[in-house]
Chains A and B, each alone.
Chain A
Amino acid sequence: MSDVTLSVQNLSKSFRIAHQRGGLRGYRTLHDELVTLPRRLINRLRGNGRSTSETFWALKNVSFDVKRGEVLGIIGSNGAGKSTLLKILNRITEPTIGGVDIYGRVGALLEVGTGFHPELTGRENIFLNGAILGMTRAEIKRKFDEIVAFAEVERFLDTPVKRYSSGMYVRLAFAVAAHLDPEILLIDEVLAVGDAEFQKKCLAKMEDVAANEGRTVIFVSHNMDAVCHLCSRCILLRQGEVAKSGDAAEVVATYLGGEQDQAPVIDFPPVDSEASFQFAGLHNPKGQATTSFSTSEPVLLKCLFKVRRQIEGLQFSFAVLNFKHERLFYSTVSMGDPPISVETPGEHHLAALIPGRLLLPGRYSITLALHTPKTKLYDIRRQAFSFRIVATVADRYDGFSGDELGHVHADVKWQRIQNVSATHRETAMV
């Protein structure tokens, strides 16, 4: 616990939401102020001056510590307070209650290209942006070539950035920020822009910054893959409060798992389609509806759907996804043994059995679809269910959380053999 580099204590931030007559403007006008002055004075004298506004708490009693070299992820749905938190850490706005102690220089990348001026050239903007982010002119000069090389904009250095493509713009902006030398780096949603290759480059750079240079990174993102990949620890904010904090994969799983267990059976609202789902449920071998299974238990998916006319080649299929919403496997009725046809009109009752000892402990979800492959999608229910595979004592996963292990329970045969080198020699001779 010695190396705390940032300590947040009971941090709260409130905003006053004014219920004003003037509509949606955030600001007031001098005119309004002067016109309403007498009334407000009277109100204040009577002691009910606050009746026209309401306090909204964007952050409530948030406390956490970050250690040197740690990469902390902050996740949560929109409006959970992530950006407000970063803004306070970055001193853009002040807390209402509580405080933060920071041991080291803070640099922030809250939005790509902040402070870029469209009329100025790439070269001029590197200096402007660098200075805004807190670098001295000498520092920028020293890193100038490195920044230009990273951004890959050598040929356009003397072109105004308003003529840059959006990709070049983002690359240049990230390059400047990535070459900042703060001990604590705050990053907000940077990777939402840019092409896949550049995103990869940014992620690699961030990993490098944290691992090799021992800097602390606080990373706010909706990209759960990046959070899992980069962050050692993660905080989930919900309505301004810390809902969960701990191992990144676990917190991400909680967040993506809808934060609470969903119902194991679903009645789907009818949709206007020639084939549509009506009901689906997850059941354990005892026939009970549940979303929690042990590693050895098979998962029984039952489904009812209606087909309104003959549809050639109609398939009922499902896919199992991991907590990052990546597909693990897919199965459809025609892959059955024997294959099942669902082309005829009417109600179809089907069951699919996902065998036990297939999935490792962790959180998974199921997407259901009715479609004719590559031609038409009749009904799709993305992540209709989420379920959990729970480790039992007999599984001996030795304290790993499931999501770190992988997803598939391979039926690996382990045995002790006599002499590795001898066996190897024998096979080589054969």
Chain B
Amino acid sequence: MVAGAESPGSSVVAQPSAARPTLRIRPTKGWAALNLRELWSYRDLLWILVERNIKVIYKQTALGIAWVALQPLIAAIILAVIAGRVAKLPSDGAPHLLFIFCGLTVWNYFSQTAQRSSTSLVNNAQLVSKVYFPRMLIPLSHTFSTLVDFAVTLIMLFVFMAIYHVPPTLRLLAIPGFLFLTAITATGVALWFSALSVKYRDTNYALPLFLQIWMWASAIIYPTSMIESPRWQSLFALNPVVGFVEGFRWCVLGKSALNPTMFWITVGMSILALLTGAFFFRRVERDFADII
């Protein structure tokens, strides 16, 4: 029997009624299709997993959702003191705290999505080895559930805007667009790392280090405008997080180094991250149950 052969006549042997099998299980080789239709048919499970993630994080915690607000607040204050008072870095003329909080809003969402989903498959090993469903749903569910944390930080960002008397403008309407780009990039990174962590358990040690380096390379406590040559700026934009951070600053503060070239590089890199992550994940997911 030829593996994976789709000869139209072969099903007739077992099935005189000539009905098409609803499911053919065959070994797959090489790169697999993304199978978005199946993913869509499991959307109910995705929402229930998202709900579970949110509930589980805040059950049996004393401060509950307050942790979400506290963590970026304290980080922003520390970074603002270091950048503004100690290192005396420029901030494109904006108040340091607000300037940094813009960056942290994006960065926290990005890094939390990557971090939570990278361990998600291993944490759900029992599920992966016992039940079938598109495995991608597990890391994907964190892209959505982390939005709760993002919403809280975003509200805090608006509060900071009020405190510093920064008037809201129509530019704020572009935030969902930048959020979308951030989400797909984070998903791509999450797919890479969650798949790798099934095979290599030390991925979970490597990721925080990797994220830390990434954070300092992402113009969070300093403006991209510190880089003067436009050519170097474009190169810098190959890190898509730079684009998101500058995008948020443009929405909130109106001043940013974001230019069309940089924007399109960011969009391209986001899509690249998502697609490579998704295809890599599909490629290795068939072995998950055997090695997890």
Contact = CB atoms under 8 A, between A and B. Distances in A.
Nearest to A104: B22
Interface string A71-114: 00000000000000001111111111111111111101011001
B159 interface: no
Contacts of B130: 92, 110-111, 114-115
Contacts of B62: none
Nearest to B24: A101
A403 interface: no
Interface in B84-129: 126-129
Interface in B61-79: none
Interface string B5-17: 0000001001111
Size category of the A interface is: 35 or more
Contacts of B37: none
A101 B48 contact: no
Size category of the B interface is: 35 or more
Contacts of A353: none
B203 to A, nearest CB: 6
A92 B130 CA distance: 7
Contact of B1 (A2, A31, A97): A97
Contacts of A99: 1, 3-4, 24-27
B280 to A, nearest CB: 15
Given A94-B28, A119-B56, A131-B48, A114 B22 contact: no
Contacts of B196: 30
Given A103-B22, A114-B127, A31 B202 contact: yes
A4 to B, nearest CB: 5
Interface stretch (B150-158, B262-270, B284-292): B284-292
B199 interface: yes
Contact of A134 (B19, B21, B49, B133): B133
A101 B3 CA distance: 13
B126 A114 contact: yes
Given A28-B200, A33-B200, A98-B1, A133 B131 contact: yes
A9 B23 contact: no
B203 A30 contact: yes
A120 B291 CA distance: 28
Contacts of A91: 23, 25, 132
B56 A27 contact: no
Contact of B14 (A10, A101, A105): A101
A38 interface: no
B147 interface: no
Interface in A25-39: 26-31, 33
A238 to B, nearest CB: 22
B206 interface: yes
Interface string A110-150: 11001101011000100110011111110000000000000
A15 interface: yes
A128 B199 CA distance: 27
Contacts of B169: none
Nearest to A95: B27
A1 interface: yes
B55 A93 contact: no
A207 interface: no
Contacts of A87: 289
Given A91-B25, A95-B27, A120-B52, A27 B291 contact: yes
Interface in A191-224: none
B211 interface: no
Interface majority SS on B: helix, strand, loop or mixed?
Answer: mixed
A127 B131 contact: no
Given A7-B15, A92-B129, A97 B27 contact: yes
B238 interface: no
Given A10-B1, A101-B11, A108-B131, A95 B25 contact: yes
B42 to A, nearest CB: 8
A174 to B, nearest CB: 15
Contacts of B126: 111, 114-115
B45 interface: yes
A104 B55 CA distance: 35
B290 A15 contact: yes
Nearest to A188: B130
A121 to B, nearest CB: 9
Given A90-B132, A97-B3, A136-B44, A29 B127 contact: no
A65 interface: yes
A110 B131 contact: yes
A7 to B, nearest CB: 4
A237 B132 CA distance: 24
B60 interface: yes
Nearest to B48: A131
A102 B21 contact: yes
A98 B16 CA distance: 21
Contacts of B3: 97-99
Nearest to A25: B201
Contacts of A120: 52, 55-56, 59
B83 to A, nearest CB: 33
Give the most central of B47, B52, B127, B286: most A CB within 10 Å.
Answer: B52
A102 B25 contact: yes
A318 to B, nearest CB: 44
A275 B60 CA distance: 61
Contacts of A96: 27
Contacts of B200: 27-30, 33
A28 B199 CA distance: 6
Nearest to A138: B44
Contact of B131 (A9, A92, A137): A92
B23 A119 contact: no
Contacts of A9: 1, 14
Given A101-B14, A103-B21, A120-B52, 15 more contacts: A7-B15, A7-B21, A9-B1, A27-B201, A94-B25, A94-B27, A95-B26, A99-B1, A104-B22, A110-B130, A114-B130, A124-B52, A127-B48, A131-B49, A137-B47
5 contacts: A4-B14, A30-B196, A97-B1, A99-B25, A128-B52
Interface of B: 1, 3-4, 11, 14-17, 19, 21-28, 44-45, 47-49, 51-52, 55-56, 59-60, 126-133, 196, 198-203, 206, 286, 289-291
